[in-house]
A = this chain, B = another copy of it.
Amino acid sequence: MTKYIKKIHEVTVDDLVEGIVNGNRVMLAQAITLVESNASRHFEKAQKIIEHLLQKENTSIRIGITGVPGAGKSTFIDAFGTYLTNNGYKVAVLAVDPSSQVSKGSIMGDKTRMERLSKDPNAFIRPSPSGGNLGGVSRKTRETIFLCEAAGYNVILVETMGVGQGEFVVRDMVDFFLLLVLTGAGDELQTMKKGIMELPDLVVVNKADGDNLHKANVAKRDYNTILHFLHSYTKGWTTRALTASAVQETGIDEIWKVIQDFEIKTKTSSVFDQVRSEQQRKWLYTLVEQELYKVFYDHPSIKQKLPILEEAIVKGEKTVSASAVNLLEAFFNKAKEF
């Protein structure tokens, strides 16, 4: 019986809303499970919870963290998160991994990855939802951010994991984006994805300790040179590079000072709120357009015609414009027959 009454469908929307507002971690986790579910009745319940919480004042800062392979992201988040809870903040760590097929299983992984933070009562760690596609993972993470904020977490760290376009998706859901790199700017930049260097508000050269210190300072200078030639992502803000050592916990306070400075500047200029509103609008359009694509490309007529037309185009037997007209006619004529 004990097991039975804990099941998600037994807990009401009101229970969950009240639990979240009171900072009940179990209720928060259950609400997130609803948000992450692919079942439509869970979707509706989750939307109701979010709607109930919408009016709540929000003073959090959302920080995206990405890094080159081997940059020591987990150690960095562990040190940075602990620094923040030591300074009185409540920290939520969420992950976005479009390639993740695991859900609850990776909690164990996170406990090992972030040893101190996973035991910290003022930290809440949630692994990436398994979503199948980036759109699904993106929706689930955005709504989880919202739930964590309603539960009183005021620093949200969203880390990108795995392969794919996660960085671009996370950039669109955070206020501040931090790129963690290593020494050797030239080699690293060559292996980074196109356009990534134009996303961050701060570049941190990690592992600036011991024998590595000199190399880290050279890398910092190189990154600052490159950044000078690139666009800063956030209007009115100049992205620059710093050094830090997550292991020795040096440079962490300076990073937090930069983020606080960013928050003050962008709130004064209204850029902070403008960006959040724009992110919401963009997300609405993205969701709608993704669904529209899905309906179109899943349509039996399109599934049948598209590969045939693609081949004909590449072989030079059909024009692209005529093929497009063909596909759209097939879709909208059939749609009428529903």
Contacts and interface: CB of A to CB of B under 8 A. Distances in A.
Interface of A: 43, 47, 50-51, 54-55, 139, 142-143, 185-186, 189-190, 194-195, 197-198, 225-226, 228-231, 277, 280-281, 283-284, 287-289, 291-293, 295-296, 309-310, 313-314, 316-324, 327-328, 331-332, 335-336, 338
Contacts of A331: 292
A159 to B, nearest CB: 22
A277 B292 CA distance: 26
B284 A324 contact: yes
Contacts of A295: 332
A62 B36 CA distance: 48
A67 to B, nearest CB: 18
B190 A231 contact: yes
A310 B319 CA distance: 38
A314 B277 contact: yes
Within the oligomer, what is the number of copies of this chain?
Answer: 2
A314 B198 contact: no
Given A230-B189, A296-B292, A336-B338, A54 B195 contact: no
A292 B292 contact: yes
Contacts of A283: 320
A318 B314 CA distance: 46
A280 B314 contact: yes
Contact of A316 (B43, B55, B190, B319): B55
A231 B186 CA distance: 11
Contacts of A189: 229-230
A321 B51 contact: no
14 contacts: A50-B321, A51-B319, A51-B322, A139-B321, A143-B319, A190-B231, A197-B229, A277-B314, A280-B314, A284-B323, A287-B324, A289-B293, A291-B324, A336-B338
B226 A317 contact: no
B194 A231 contact: yes
B281 A186 contact: no
Contacts of A313: 280-281, 284
Nearest to A225: B225
A146 to B, nearest CB: 8
